[in-house]
């Protein structure tokens, strides 16, 4: 069974997450299908991509597949990790990606949505960034995604509390482009996509890549980089990291000891 559905019309390519049995968790298999779809969209000259869950979804995506998080002291969000690979695929896709959000968005799926070029959502959609809740040491480029879209205090509130924030609040903060009633969301999103499709695809594509490079332009000394990685290693080798994953699997609240 395919974990996504795809459709192309009028230069607009749609990818629909279709893995509700695991609440659209971003499993490696699903990420591979999305990457294949994006490559096909590039081949077909798609000028805008829309990334969505099935209409009316209660959960847009439950984030990283927890069953694929390593417990043996290995970096859980290394370069080859499915979530990291997916974020880079969205950023590298040579046309704008619009995230169409209904339902709740969790963990790494928040970063996935924030890495898209535009976000439209229903008023009831929510976003919960969960590294602190699961004991996961988020990675530097992932934290930069949050800092590039959210004011620092909002990024900290999202990440430190791990509590859901509504699309309505995030729109007020300029993090979400439009909050639209569910019954109008699809038509609104396609109108937005058509407005982009009618412009020069070369200019739009080049500006997307220029903006990606500029957004990632952060001076970081080798010493700072090593400090960042060392801090993360302390976490993913900790008892708390293993406790977070086990508690999720055992469907119980984790007990964190700070070690
Ligand atoms: O028990 P079964 O086998 O039916 O499976 C259940 C869940 O275990 C499974 N599932 C997941 N499996 C792997 N990874 C996930 N992220 C995940 N989420 C859910 O799907 C089946 C149905 O889930 P259930 O019964 O809980 O559904 P629900 O409708 O009652 O609740 C939906 C959610 C999304 C509220 C609930 O599933 C949930 O809280 N999921 C975890 C959300 C979360 O904390 N995600 C963060 C994952 S870690 C991550 O993204 C990053 C590494 S980080 O944490 O650093 O941001």
Question: How many residues appear in the chain?
Answer: 259
Q: What is the 129 CA–ligand 1 centroid distance (Å)?
A: 13
Tens digits of residue pLDDT in 100-126:
999 999 999 999 999 999 999 999 999
CB atoms inside a 10 Å sphere around CB 107: 26
The mean per-residue pLDDT over the stretch 87-98 comes to: 98
Q: Decide: residue 208, CB within 10 A, 0-12 exposed, 13-18 middle, 19+ buried.
A: middle
Residue % of the chain over a pLDDT of 70: 100
Statement: residue 222 has pLDDT above 90: yes
Through-space distance between the first and last CA atoms of the chain, rounded to whole angstroms: 41
Q: Please, what is the average pLDDT of the chain?
A: 97
In this prediction, residue 73 has a pLDDT band, given cuts at 50, 70 and 90, of confident
The whole model's pTM is what? Answer: 0.97
Statement: residue 72 has pLDDT above 90: no
For a mutational test of ligand 1's pocket, the pick from 23, 28, 83, i.e. the residue with the most ligand atoms closer than 8 A to its C-beta, is 23
Identify the pLDDT of residue 148. 96
Give nearest CA residue, ligand 1 atom 55: 131
Identify the pLDDT of residue 211. 97
What the block records as the tokens of 43 is 């081949």
Residues with a CB atom less than 6 Å from ligand 1? 22-23, 25, 59, 62-67, 106-108, 129-131, 134, 136, 138
Q: Which atom of ligand 1 is nearest to the CA of 65?
A: 14
Tens digits of residue pLDDT in 195-209:
999 999 999 999 999
Q: Which atom of ligand 1 is nearest to the CA of 138?
A: 55
Give nearest CA residue, ligand 1 atom 34: 62
In this prediction, residue 24 has a pLDDT band, given cuts at 50, 70 and 90, of very high
The mean per-residue pLDDT over the stretch 10-16 comes to: 98
Q: Which atom of ligand 1 is nearest to the CA of 136?
A: 55
The mean per-residue pLDDT over the stretch 174-184 comes to: 98
Which DSSP category does 140 fall into?
A: H
Give nearest CA residue, ligand 1 atom 2: 22
Q: Which residues are annotated as catalytic?
A: 64, 108, 138
β-partners of residue 8 are 13
Identify the pLDDT of residue 1. 79
Helix/strand/coil (H, E, C) string of 197-219? HCCCHHHHHHHHHHHHHHHCCCC
The mean per-residue pLDDT over the stretch 84-107 comes to: 98
């Amino acid at each position: 069974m395919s974990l996504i559905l795809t459709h192309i019309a009028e230069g607009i390519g749609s990818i629909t997450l279709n893995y509700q049995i695991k609440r659209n968790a971003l499993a490696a298999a699903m990420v591979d299908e999305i990457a294949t779809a994006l490559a096909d969209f590039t081949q077909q000259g798609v000028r805008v991509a829309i990334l969505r869950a099935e209409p009316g979804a209660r959960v847009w995506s439950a984030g990283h597949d927890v069953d694929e998080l390593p417990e043996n002291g290995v970096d859980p969000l290394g370069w080859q990790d499915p979530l990291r690979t997916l974020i880079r695929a969205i950023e590298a896709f040579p046309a704008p990606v619009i995230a169409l959000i209904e339902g709740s968005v969790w963990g790494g799926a928040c970063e996935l949505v924030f890495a898209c070029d535009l976000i439209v959502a229903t008023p009831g959609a929510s976003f919960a960034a969960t590294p602190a809740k699961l004991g996961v040491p988020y990675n530097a480029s992932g934290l930069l995604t949050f800092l590039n879209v959210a004011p620092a205090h909002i990024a900290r509130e999202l990440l430190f509390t791990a509590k859901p924030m509504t699309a309505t609040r995030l729109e007020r903060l300029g993090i979400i482009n439009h909050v639209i009633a569910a019954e109008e969301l699809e038509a609104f999103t396609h109108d937005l996509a058509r407005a982009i499709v009618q412009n020069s695809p070369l200019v739009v594509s080049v500006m997307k890549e220029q903006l990606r490079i500029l957004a990632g332009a952060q001076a970081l000394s080798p010493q700072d980089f090593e400090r960042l990685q060392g801090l993360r290693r302390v976490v993913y080798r900790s008892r708390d990291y293993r406790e977070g994953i086990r508690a999720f699997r055992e469907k119980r609240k984790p007990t964190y000891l700070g070690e």
